[in-house]
């Protein structure tokens, strides 16, 4: 039997939002106007194409006091109470929504009662709770605070204790993966018969999440390998303006890298089922800064000390004979391109270009300009930090949430700081793996690369899991 839960409550309390977040389905209709949901709609939760759970969205109570009054007449009819009530009042326009919302209950669904815990408990809420008690179905209350006020929480909990098997605070806008799991776990306790099926649901959820994390780690590794080995080349033809060519290649290079990064981010976004709404990063996120912008390189990646540890400042880039635009990317990303060209030009003369020419097997006498591959391990860390930050945002962007709040304080909380997001803070052993991976890529050493890749994959899946389980979400 597939467990079904009906999400029930007063109009506009956030029922549809809670459902959307729980089921990770952004097709659920949410609106600031009360009465948005007028018909029951069932949302199956599928894992690997198999339905494991279903949630049913319902309209808000219309006339709970009258329902309560009429229900008394059927008291003592056990499981038939709701069916008989519905049969008697289905055509009564005053109870239209009430009959509709009780439909899933009549067929045996469990109840998740949603209230906005930021407002006081009223008598009409007590009438709704009593109606739900009379249904005799297993029920849990969910406190979804739409506002910041917490003074009423104790009263709500007190009211629930009398009529519900369990209650939980669950915020439709801010609930994380970990909180979704906790809510599902708590549902187990409201009815013994559901313990077995819900155990399966919880373990299927966890397995599915782990599979998404594995897939994310693959996407990240592909992004790193692709960006770190990427280069663009152009031939210096007689009479061509060399500086213009360099600038063009540099632009081509950065444009292509940005595109690769955006694509990886989009892949992660769709893995986590954000399909309909145009997910925007919070206004204050560092991710709004361009990948090649000074701010990005100041705030993300390795700090100076970690750079020294990583050996990134060893001067290897210069020694290897890399052209100036390349060095510009590695060391002087913040200097103007003209400045970078001047400095490195003085350092290296034309030597690097001829080296490259020979290496590339282009006929003698021809010169080529090459931009990339970037030779700084810092680049790996910047890409890593940005993708991990993006991941943290996307997994903590609850599906029931459709935009950012006006409230400044709430906006400020939106950049996640879960441990592991800044790769610069990883352990020395993990940083060593990054360095080895980077070097293996640079040297084209497939054997070493395979080993380093495996190690990095392990670190990444561990990091993704710890970000998912952290409660320091968006
Ligand atoms: N700030 C905030 N707003 C919320 C939260 N949950 C819901 N809302 C907003 O409250 C409004 C109503 O949300 P819905 O989920 O449509 O409420 P509902 O109970 O399904 O409403 P009806 O279908 O009309 O009965 C929407 O504008 C939501 O964005 C929350 O946790 N925080
Ligand atoms: Mg609704």
Say if residue 121's pLDDT is above 70.
yes
Residues 151 and 229 occupy one common structural domain: no
Q: Which of 140-149, 222-231, 463-472 has the lowest mean pLDDT?
A: 463-472
Q: What is the CATH number of the domain that holds 125?
A: 3.40.50.300
343 in a domain, yes or no?
Answer: yes
Instruction: Describe the chain by its helix, strand, coil percentages, rounded to 5.
Output: 55, 10, 35
Residues 6+ apart with CB under 8 A from 248: 234
189 in a domain, yes or no?
Answer: no
Which is higher by pLDDT, 203 or 415?
203
Choosing from 17, 173, 405, 474 the residue with most ligand 1 atoms within 8 A of its CB, the one to mutate for a pocket test is 17
Question: Which residues surround the ion ligand 2 when the cut-off is CB under 5 Å?
Answer: 15-16, 36-37
CA distance 38 to 57: 9
pLDDT confidence bin for 307, thresholds 50/70/90: low
Say if residue 317's pLDDT is above 80.
no
pLDDT confidence bin for 464, thresholds 50/70/90: very high
Task: Note if the bond before 8 is cis, omega within 30 degrees.
Answer: no
Q: How many Å separate Cα 447 from the centre of its chain? A: 34
Q: What is the pTM of this model?
A: 0.83
Residues 143 and 241 occupy one common structural domain: no
pLDDT score, position 97: 97
If one counts the domains in the chain, the total is 2
- For 292-303, the pLDDT digits (tens) are 888 888 778 777
Q: Of 172, 201, 229, which closes a domain? A: 172
Ligand closest to 148 (CA) is 1
* Cβ 100 under 6 angstroms from ligand 1: no
Average pLDDT of the chain to the nearest whole number: 83
- For 154-170, the pLDDT digits (tens) are 999 999 998 998 999 99
DSSP 254-285: HHHHHHHHHHHHHHHHHHTT--SS-----TT-
Average of pLDDT values for 241-248?
84
> How many CA atoms, within 13 angstroms, populate the side-chain half-sphere of residue 421?
23
Residues 110 and 162 occupy one common structural domain: yes
Residues 140 and 215 occupy one common structural domain: no
pLDDT score, position 15: 97
Which is higher by pLDDT, 360 or 188?
188
Burial 395-419 (b: 16+ CB within 10 A, else e): bbbbbbbeebeeeeeeeebbbbebe
Ligand 1 center from residue 12 Cα (angstroms): 5
pLDDT confidence bin for 304, thresholds 50/70/90: low
CA distance 223 to 415: 23
| Residue with CA nearest ligand 1 atom 30 | 146
Say if residue 360's pLDDT is above 50.
no
pLDDT score, position 422: 86
Q: Which domain holds residue 427?
A: 211-469
| Residue with CA nearest ligand 1 atom 32 | 146
Residues 6+ apart with CB under 8 A from 75: 81, 134
User: Residue 281 CB: number of other CB atoms within 10 A?
Assistant: 19
Q: Would you give the DSSP letter of residue 35?
A: T
DSSP 144-209: --SSS--TTHHHHHHHHHHH-SEEEE--TTT--HHHHHHHHHHHHTT-GGGHHHHHHHHHHHHHHH
* Cβ 172 under 6 angstroms from ligand 1: yes
pLDDT confidence bin for 236, thresholds 50/70/90: confident
Element holding 297 (H helix, E strand): helix 294-299
Average of pLDDT values for 323-349?
32
Structure tokens belonging to residue 208: 């599915």
Q: Which of 183-192, 354-363, 366-375 has the lowest mean pLDDT?
A: 354-363
Residues 164 and 240 occupy one common structural domain: no
Average of pLDDT values for 4-29?
94
196 in a domain, yes or no?
Answer: no
* Cβ 60 under 6 angstroms from ligand 1: yes
Residues 147 and 40 occupy one common structural domain: yes
CA distance 387 to 300: 11
- Please give the share of the chain, as a percent, with pLDDT higher than 70: 82
Residues 137 and 257 occupy one common structural domain: no
Residues 219 and 168 occupy one common structural domain: no
* Cβ 62 under 6 angstroms from ligand 1: no
- For 256-276, the pLDDT digits (tens) are 999 999 999 999 999 998 877
Ligand 2 center from residue 57 Cα (angstroms): 7
Average of pLDDT values for 290-313?
70
Of 41, 233, 32, 19, the closest CA to residue 142 belongs to 19
pLDDT confidence bin for 180, thresholds 50/70/90: very high
> How many CA atoms, within 13 angstroms, populate the side-chain half-sphere of residue 223?
29
177 in a domain, yes or no?
Answer: no
Residues 6+ apart with CB under 8 A from 106: 82, 83, 86
Residues 35 and 168 occupy one common structural domain: yes
Of 145, 141, 143, 146, the closest CA to residue 160 belongs to 141
pLDDT score, position 313: 41
Nearest atom, ligand 1, residue 174 CA: 31
Q: Of 172, 203, 235, which closes a domain? A: 172
204 in a domain, yes or no?
Answer: no
Q: Of 172, 203, 233, which closes a domain? A: 172
Residues 36 and 146 occupy one common structural domain: yes
238 in a domain, yes or no?
Answer: yes
pLDDT score, position 305: 62
pLDDT confidence bin for 413, thresholds 50/70/90: low
């Amino acid at each position: 039997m597939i467990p079904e839960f009906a999400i029930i409550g007063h109009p506009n309390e956030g029922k549809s939002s809670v459902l959307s977040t729980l089921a990770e389905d952004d097709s659920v209709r949410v609106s600031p106007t009360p009465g948005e949901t007028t018909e029951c709609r069932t949302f199956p939760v599928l894992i690997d194409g198999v339905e494991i759970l279903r949630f049913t969205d319902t309209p808000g109570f219309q006339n709970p006091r009258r329902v309560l009054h009429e229900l008394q007449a059927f008291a003592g009819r056990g499981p038939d109470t709701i069916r008989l009530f519905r049969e008697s009042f289905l055509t009564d326009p005053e109870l239209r929504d009430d009959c509709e919302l009780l439909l899933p209950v009549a067929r045996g669904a469990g109840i998740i009662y949603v209230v906005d815990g930021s407002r006081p408990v009223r008598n009409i809420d007590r009438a709704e709770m009593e109606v739900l008690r009379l249904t005799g179905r297993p029920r849990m209350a969910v406190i979804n605070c739409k506002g910041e006020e917490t003074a009423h929480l104790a009263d709500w909990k007190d009211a629930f204790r009398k009529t519900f098997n369990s209650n939980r605070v669950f915020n439709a806008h801010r609930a994380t993966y970990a909180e979704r799991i906790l809510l599902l776990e708590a549902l187990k306790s409201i009815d013994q018969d559901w313990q077995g099926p819900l155990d399966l649901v919880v373990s299927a959820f966890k397995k599915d999440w782990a599979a998404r994390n594995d897939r994310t780690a693959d996407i990240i590794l592909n992004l790193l390998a692709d960006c770190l080995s990427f280069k663009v080349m152009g031939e210096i033809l007689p009479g061509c303006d060399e500086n213009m060519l360099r600038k063009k290649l540099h632009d081509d290079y950065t444009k292509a890298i940005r595109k690769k990064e955006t694509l990886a981010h989009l892949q992660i976004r769709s893995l986590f089922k954000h399909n309909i709404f145009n997910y925007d990063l919070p206004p204050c996120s560092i991710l709004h800064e361009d990948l090649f912008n000074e701010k990005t390189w100041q705030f993300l990646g390795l700090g100076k000390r970690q750079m020294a540890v990583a050996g990134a400042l060893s001067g290897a880039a210069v020694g290897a004979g890399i052209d100036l635009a390349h060095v510009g990317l590695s060391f002087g990303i913040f200097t103007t391109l003209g400045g970078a060209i001047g400095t490195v030009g003085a350092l290296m003369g034309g030597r690097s270009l001829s080296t490259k020419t020979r290496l590339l097997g282009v006929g003698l006498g021809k010169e080529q300009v090459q931009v990339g591959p970037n030779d700084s391990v810092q680049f790996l860390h910047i890409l890593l930090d940005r993708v991990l930050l993006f991941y943290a945002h996307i997994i903590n962007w609850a599906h029931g949430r459709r935009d950012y709040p006006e409230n400044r304080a709430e906006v400020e909380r939106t950049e996640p700081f879960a441990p592991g997001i800044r790769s610069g803070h990883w352990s020395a052993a993990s940083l060593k793996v990054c360095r080895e991976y980077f070097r293996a890529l640079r040297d084209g050493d497939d054997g070493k690369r395979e080993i380093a890749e495996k190690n990095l994959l392990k670190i990444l899946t561990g990091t993704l899991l710890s970000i998912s389980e952290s409660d320091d979400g968006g």
